[in-house]
Amino acid sequence: MANATQSEPRATEAEILEVLLPDVARFLAAEVDGYAIDRDGAVPMAVRGGLARLGLFGMTLPEAYGGAGLSLGAACCVVAELARVDRSVAIMVGLHAGLGTRGLVELGTPALRARWLPRLASGDCIASFAATEAGAGSALTAIRTTGRLVGGSLRLDGEKSYVTNGGFAGLFTVLVRTPGLGGDRAQSIVCVPADTPGVSTGLEEKKLGIRGSSTVTVSFDDVRVPIDHVLGIPGDGMRQVSGLLAWGRTLMSAGCVGAARGALDATLAYVRGRHQFGSPIGDFAATRAHVAWMAARTHAMAALVRSVGDAQSAGDAIELDSTIAKVFCSEGAFEVCDRAVQLHGALGFLEETGVARILRDTRITRIFEGANDVLLLRIGAAALGEDSRIHGHGVLGSQSRWLGPAQRIEDLARSLRRETEGVRERRGVGAVRHQLVLQRLARALICTRAARASIERAVEEDSALAGYAAETLADEAYGWLSRLGRADEDEEADRKVTDRMYAR
């Protein structure tokens, strides 16, 4: 992805991806052994070097600093291809391209960008992002790592947990409390070089999956950085980190698409070749039902991720859309991978087949970058606070084949709006305290958004698979809407059972 000379026209992203993605696929096939990465608990330096030569560490960084300047949507295509073969590799690159570098690109001073972005683009330096703390969990407002003004520097003290890429990162983007910058509860985002005195990393965590991804605790003990290492407006860290997380969640969702594709590819190969009772098991109706669902869900996940990338390129805010994609894709990928194991039978439980590893690697995505249970509450609250209608499909044109399914999605959107308004009327501001209501409303909204993205793909591609995905998602959305009215009864039943258990 070398920069074009002034006399050469700038290649379009589609042209770049047309060349890049086959190169990435060939490299993965030749050089990446997912089984060995999982066994050894690390991505080999030779693989990192190959990724650097392909230009992947600079794919989202500005051309002026040696990057390719690709959009979020284009980067998602690359991350999905990486994750199709190995999720640890995809996480290393995706974290660097998103959360690790985005703050510096968007908020860093010219001097800071000039110092670091060329090294980050070349892969000579890998970026990391540190926000989570053991005692805070999903509540970033509860973090305790603090930056205090001391002369012309910022002194950092504290500890960050579960830091991806942390074991070999050269630069950390860190979210810290900065009571001297914007008030007692203010937070800021700070760039911290890994070789700064007082920065130390712990041992690699032993994990269920993504074992090749570096995950460590990073400690800051009297760490001094210049004040210009604060990114953007001091004290505005929580708002800023929301935008960075939108990139991170979207790229993580793309990784889920890739993992699901890998599981689906393995399953198709297996059910075509495995015979029972004189026929390939892929010919059986029960198997076809699984495979059809897996293919449709994977297609819908890809459509939803693409819609987020398109929105970002159009200049729209994507915080909510990226959160929706994160929940939908992480849960969809796990279900696809679980069905892959099921269809492989006993072989699916053996590590040598690869599908068990894909399943293990996918499980974490429902937890990191925001646990889904918490994100569902945020999505539900956002739905109550805004007009959640899904607007008309201007792309239908004369393709009457899709008028009926598209109209069903429009009817679903109107039902969602009516139910949302009903919740507001019945419960008022107290609705935000009813977690089952919020989660069910969120799931209906998620399925509706995914159905819309799928029907748009169906129209664009005249794809029966996309149409099937839209129909199944509409059914799911209506199911969640039907359960809204039972939320109070279900909550009370749950309480009775758990009260007895907690009293033991």
Q: Which residues are catalytic?
A: 369
Alpha helices (runs of H) in 99-236, residue ranges in sequence order: 101-107, 110-122
Q: How would you class 52 by CB atoms within 10 Å of its CB: exposed for 0-12, middle for 13-18, buried for 19 or more? A: middle
Q: How far apart are CA 85 and CA 75, in angstroms?
A: 16
Q: Are 271 and 303 in contact (CB under 8 A)?
A: no
Q: Are 236 and 244 in contact (CB under 8 A)?
A: no
Q: How far apart are CA 389 and CA 361, in angstroms?
A: 35
DSSP-assigned beta bridge partners for residue 224: 155
> Minimal CA–CA distance to 172: which of 190, 154, 153?
190
DSSP-assigned states of every residue in 241-261: HHHHHHHHHHHHHHHHHHHHH
Structure tokens at 215: 């995950």
Q: Are 112 and 229 in contact (CB under 8 A)?
A: yes
Sign of torsion, CA 222 225 231 232? positive
Residue 106 CB neighbours (<10 A): 14
Q: How far, CA to CA in Å, does 313 sit from each of 20, 338, 403, 412?
A: 20, 34, 28, 27
Q: Please give the radius of gyration of the chain, using alpha carbons only, rounded to the nearest integer.
A: 23
Task: Quote the DSSP letter at residue 169.
Answer: -
